[in-house]
């Protein structure tokens, strides 16, 4: 598995989580979910949570079960109403936009489950990903096949017949068909083998190197932080630690509490 280049950033702890975030280069991030508070119904799951990622960088969200990681991702994508906080994309406040409108602004989202059309072929799944486009998307499909060669080999096969790792590739490929500026991945390696996990992480690094920002929730915290430019450790819906992936890996408190020593 390749490693993403690391940079330095001012560490952000829970006590100053309402500070305006800066990316690993000190620049204004390309995507910011800032001071987000909200949840489902009357129950708040997020409590002033802040996430940010720069253009072409990888930001990883980790934390214990029930920490609000997937909820934070959904909040950034507009899948739940925020009672507090804002979401900005490329300097534009998109807090009031629906998920579909955010897709048109350049956001791609891959949920953890039910992320492929199982009765459709691989190629039909990719074509569905281009639903917002009016131009010729064959070049993009060729790029997806270059990124995931197995999908080209199985392009006529129903997605439901693929392995878990191959279905994840289909889901990521379909999101890339929209030509997103930001790709959001919720537990992309859930249920796959360590070898497949490494392969997926390598492909994610390749995507980031094309200039697409990656915001990812990941259960395999240690491996995810190894490729992360920026890492966010959430606990009970709030930022506990925020720093570069390398700095979080080296932090004894983070290692002891969240990485198993």
The vertex-195 CA angle with 125 and 225, nearest 5°, equals 90
d(CA 66, CA 78): 20
Average pLDDT taken over every residue of the chain: 90
Domain boundaries, the chain: 12-106+184-189+215-254
**Separation of alpha carbons 99 and 227, rounded Å:** 27
pLDDT in tens, 93-133: 999 999 999 999 999 999 988 899 999 999 999 999 998 89
Strand partners, 121: 158
> Helix, strand or coil for residue 92?
strand
Q: What backbone torsions phi and psi does residue 56 show, to the nearest 5 degrees?
A: 75, 15
The answer, yes or no, to whether residue 155 has pLDDT greater than 80, is yes
Number of Cβ within 10 Å of residue 39's Cβ equals 18
The answer regarding whether domain 12-106+184-189+215-254 maps to CATH 3.40.50.300 reads yes
- pLDDT tens by residue, 181-231: 999 999 999 888 899 999 999 999 999 999 999 999 999 999 999 999 999
Q: What is the mean pLDDT of residues 174-182?
A: 96
pLDDT tens digits, one per residue of 2-40: 555 444 444 444 334 445 565 555 667 999 999 999 998
Residue 147: other Cβ atoms inside 10 A: 17
Q: 0.85 exceeded by the pTM?
A: yes
């Amino acid at each position: 598995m390749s490693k993403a280049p690391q940079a330095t950033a001012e560490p952000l702890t829970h006590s100053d989580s309402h500070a305006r975030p800066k990316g690993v280069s000190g620049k204004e991030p390309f995507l910011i979910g800032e001071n987000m508070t909200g949840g489902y119904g009357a129950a708040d799951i997020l409590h002033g949570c802040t996430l940010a990622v720069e253009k072409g960088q990888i930001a990883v969200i980790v934390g214990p079960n029930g920490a609000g990681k997937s909820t934070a991702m959904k909040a950034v994508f507009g899948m739940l109403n925020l009672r507090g906080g804002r979401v900005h994309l490329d300097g534009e406040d998109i807090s009031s936009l629906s998920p579909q409108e955010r897709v048109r602004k350049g956001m791609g989202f891959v949920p953890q489950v039910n992320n492929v059309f199982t009765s459709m072929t691989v190629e039909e799944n990719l074509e569905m990903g281009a639903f917002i486009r009016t131009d010729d998307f064959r070049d993009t499909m060729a790029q997806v096949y270059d990124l995931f060669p197995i999908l080209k080999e199985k392009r006529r096969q129903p997605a439901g017949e693929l392995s878990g790792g191959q279905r994840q590739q289909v889901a990521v490929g379909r999101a890339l068909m929209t030509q997103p500026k930001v790709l959001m991945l919720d537990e992309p390696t859930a249920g796959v083998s360590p070898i497949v996990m490494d392969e997926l992480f390598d492909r994610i690094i390749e995507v980031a190197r094309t200039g697409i920002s990656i915001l990812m929730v990941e259960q395999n915290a240690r491996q995810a932080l190894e490729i992360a430019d920026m890492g966010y450790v959430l606990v009970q819906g709030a930022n506990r630690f925020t720093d570069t992936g390398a700095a979080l890996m080296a932090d004894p408190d983070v290692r002891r509490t969240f990485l198993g020593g």
